Structure 1
Amino acid sequence: MKNTETNIKSEAELIRQIKNGDDEALLNLCFLYKPLINKVKSLYHVRYYDSQDWEQDAMIICHDSAISFDLNKGKFGSYFKTRLINHARSLVRYDNAYRRQALKQSVSLETAKKNNLLPLDKSFVSIPEIPLSENIAILTSKLSHLETNALLVGLGVIEQKEVIQKLKISKLTLSRARSRLAQKMRQTLLN
């Protein structure tokens, strides 16, 4: 009984010291609750979270708990435990979020080769609402003669020098035509 009272008094003193900015008191308080921290660490598995991450998070939560704890209300141990468990659950929820499931199920190429895994037979290619050939027809109908030549240069069908000589334009004019072409391509093909 006497040991418990001493422990509670020392815990309250440590909390007061933490509120006054004593870092050593924080380390001592975390050491007091080391079994609780280890228990929570063993109950909740978070991918890519090692022991040092748990220790650091527990120390941050212990500090925040000590700062916000009212010594006249309740027990610090249950308050800290609740905050630590809530944090662990938040980490697990974050880790298990639906949009991250693909990452969990992915396998590196080295592992796939080592285990002789074959690619899936299913096609994951999305079918555009408007076929690409129609989009290209719409794009080419919007292009000027100069922009069409800029497209042919970009595709490597004709040489830049040939277009400049044939149309009697400068490199700057052709460069501007390429910029307009790129803008029209974004508008037509991506929208």
Structure 2
Amino acid sequence: MCERMIQTTPESELIKQVAVNDSASFTSLYNQYLPLICKVWYQFHLDDLPLDDWKQEAAVVLYRTACSYSNQEARFCWYLKQALMNKIRDFYRQQVAKKRIPAEHVESITDLQLINI
């Protein structure tokens, strides 16, 4: 009975319930936006990020986005898509940064010797 109610609950109510840690509402919202989550991954597929890992990362993004969402900013689907795109950009930057400097050439700041001039 409760499960049927959640499926017919308007999106704005689901978002409010997610913000107060309602796991059933989160699951419903996650399932509603799973096609968008997968679409973003397929569009910007990264070698170091399998789909299952992306789904976990996207779930965290979804939760944080629902908690910070206010109806005045934009529609939730657009707000979530932007947050997912930002997360993909973060992963891309990390991936590119790893390629830029070989690990054997990186030194800790504490290992650097400062020269007094």
Q: TM-score, normalised by structure 1?
A: 0.46
Counterpart of 1:61 in structure 2: which amino acid?
A: V
Larger gyration radius, structure 1 or structure 2: 1
Counterpart of 1:32 in structure 2: which amino acid?
A: Q
Say whether 1:77 aligns with 2:77: yes
CA displacement at 1:97 relative to structure 2: 1.6
CA displacement at 1:73 relative to structure 2: 3.5
Distance in 2 between the 1:69 and 1:86 partners?
16
RMSD, aligned α-carbons:
2.1
Q: How does 1:139-150 map to 2 (within 5 A)?
A: none
Distance 1:98 1:48, change over 3 A: closer
Is residue 44–residue 89 contact of structure 1 (8 Å, CA) maintained in 2? no
Distance in 1 between the 2:82 and 2:48 partners?
23
Q: Deviations over 1:129-175 (max 9, x none)?
A: xxxxxxxxxxxxxxxxxxxxxxxxxxxxxxxxxxxxxxxxxxxxxxx
Q: How does 1:38-187 map to 2 (within 5 A)?
A: 38-97=38-97, 99-100=99-100
Q: Deviations over 1:102-124 (max 9, x none)?
A: 58xxxxxxxxxxxxxxxxxxxxx
Distance in 1 between the 2:48 and 2:101 partners?
15
Say whether 1:34 aligns with 2:34: yes
Distance in 1 between the 2:27 and 2:100 partners?
35
Distance 1:52 1:98, change over 3 A: closer
CA displacement at 1:72 relative to structure 2: 3.8
Residue of structure 1 in register with 2:16 after alignment = 16
SS of 2:10 mapped into structure 1 = helix
Residue of structure 2 in register with 1:187 after alignment = none
Distance in 1 between the 2:67 and 2:15 partners?
7
Distance in 1 between the 2:87 and 2:38 partners?
14
Q: Deviations over 1:68-125 (max 9, x none)?
A: 001344210000000001110110111012655658xxxxxxxxxxxxxxxxxxxxxx
- Number of aligned residue pairs: give it: 96
Is residue 48–residue 95 contact of structure 2 (8 Å, CA) maintained in 1? no
Distance in 2 between the 1:42 and 1:88 partners?
11
SS of 1:97 mapped into structure 2 = helix
Counterpart of 1:77 in structure 2: which amino acid?
A: C
Counterpart of 1:66 in structure 2: which amino acid?
A: A
